[in-house]
Amino acid sequence: MNKIFKLLLVIFVVLGAVSAYFLLTQEKYIDKKTAIEQAQLSCMEVHSQPQEEPYNIEAKLIKCADVVAQTGWNGCSIDGYHSSDSMVWFVSMDGLWFHWGPPAEDGTNAPIAMTKCQVLIDAKSGHMFALRS
């Protein structure tokens, strides 16, 4: 009985150690909902409040190395900080935002309508580092 108890105790300790190691070394990323919320805020900060509720919202957790192949955009090279192994959220949405550019030669300042907003968000920190419209 004593041998069985010791064996079970050893198994329990080993399983506990393996579980603890897995939990401590596992990468922590923001979730999809948080990435979408951050992307919506980023689109408003760069442009205006959305003139309509954004729609066709897509979010993908991908490596920087795969961004160009999956999106056609080389956004990871913008800041020089994210390596090809960095995990990012690519969030794309349709909607209507206005971007106010510099005044035209005649002095008028009409907004430019933006109908798509795409954002790259660092999956660990949750910070936007690239945006295109």
Output 100 or 17, whichever has higher pLDDT: 100
pLDDT digits (tens, 9 = 90+) for 29-50: 999 999 999 999 999 888 778 8
* pLDDT of amino acid 76: 82
* pLDDT of amino acid 17: 46
DSSP state of 50: -
CA 17 → CA 6, 8, 30, distances in Å? 16, 14, 26
Cα(26)–Cα(31) distance, integer angstroms: 14
Domain borders along the chain are: 29-132
The dihedral built from the CA positions of residue 132, 90, 49 and 116, taken in this order, carries a sign that is positive
Write out the two tokens for 97.
Answer: 């935002």
12-18 CB contacts, 8 Å cutoff, 24+ apart = none
3-state secondary structure at position 115:
strand
Q: What percentage of the chain reaches a pLDDT higher than 70?
A: 78
Q: How confident is the model at residue 61 (pLDDT cuts 50, 70, 90)?
A: very high
pLDDT of 91 > 90? The answer is yes
Dihedrals phi, psi of 45, to nearest 5 degrees: -70, -35
* pLDDT of amino acid 89: 97
* pLDDT of amino acid 107: 79
pLDDT of 80 > 90? The answer is no
Averaged pLDDT for residues 86-111: 87
pTM: 0.75
Type of residue found at 122: D
